[in-house]
Chain A
Amino acid sequence: QVQLQESGPGLVKPSETLSLICTVSAYSISSGYSWGWIRQPPGKGLDWIGNFHHGGSPYYSPSLKSRVTISLDTSKNQFSLNLTSVTAADTAVYYCARTPRDRGSNWFDSWGQGILVTVSS
């Protein structure tokens, strides 16, 4: 049973970079599947951030594309999220998740527990 676990700072200052890591266990991220990030502002709905399939190229939500980078580290079986120039609007619970396909019709079949990141000085 694949497991995903987010880690990183819970507090980030405005204008700085939010950096999170998702550690995957019981499955090699280089074996297939696509790896993504989704966020949920407090009391609000889910927003897709982006995905990255090993052997492919990452793709991002148009609304965040200029500020976001998703990377894979196959040696550590981890993938990461970097979001630059954060503001209070980026305060959210951030989830990492797995999808069976690179693009097109897709679903998030395994999720991390989520990590709350607050943007505040």
Chain B
Amino acid sequence: QSVLTQPPSVSGAPGQRVTISCTGSSSNIGAGYDVQWYQQFPGTAPKLLINANNNRPSGVPDRFSGSKSGTSASLAITGLQAEDEADYYCQSYDSSLSGSVFGGGTKLTVL
């Protein structure tokens, strides 16, 4: 059971917009700690996609955006492309556990 809760899967057609939610609690997201998002393709290491809730590292397309409100955060992907099909993980810091925590991951399928 992950500390951060994500839907196991989401899907969308090419060109559409999809969102992936990440729900935490008062000891992590709700406490004001930043949320990060990672993209992982099969057999490869995760790649930082969004840090500090809504910042895109250099090289990340602006089709990816992050937001945070209360104890939850969301990753939005607009103009969905076949190459976006991957697993996505949210991550934050938890004060009760005194360390980083991850969501269980969401598999994005492009129809």
Residues on A lying within 8 angstroms of B by beta carbon are 36, 38, 45-48, 50-51, 59-62, 95, 103-109, 111-114
Which one of B11-19, B30-38, B72-80 is at the interface?
B30-38
Closest A residue to B53 by beta carbon equals A105
Q: Known contacts being A45-B103, A61-B97, is A107 close to B34, with CB within 8 Å?
A: yes
Indicate which residue in A45, A95, A103, A114 contacts B89 across the interface (CB closer than 8 Å). Answer: A45
Q: Identify whether the interface residues of A are mostly helix, strand, loop, or mixed.
A: loop
How far apart sit A108 and B89, CA to CA, in the bound complex (Å)? 12
Give the residues from 77 to 111 in chain B that come closer than 8 angstroms, CB to CB, to chain A. 89, 91-93, 97-105
How far apart sit A63 and B39, CA to CA, in the bound complex (Å)? 25
Indicate which residue in A51, A109, A111 contacts B57 across the interface (CB closer than 8 Å). Answer: A109
Chain B residues whose CB sits within 8 angstroms of the CB of A48 once the complex forms: 99-102
Indicate which residue in A36, A105, A114 contacts B93 across the interface (CB closer than 8 Å). Answer: A105
Chain A residues whose CB sits within 8 angstroms of the CB of B104 once the complex forms: 45
Chain A residues whose CB sits within 8 angstroms of the CB of B45 once the complex forms: 95, 111-114
Indicate which residue in B34, B91, B98, B103 contacts A108 across the interface (CB closer than 8 Å). Answer: B91
B51 is an interface residue with CB less than 8 A from chain A: yes
Chain A residues whose CB sits within 8 angstroms of the CB of B103 once the complex forms: 45
* B99:A61 contact, CB within 8 angstroms: yes
* A105:B52 contact, CB within 8 angstroms: yes
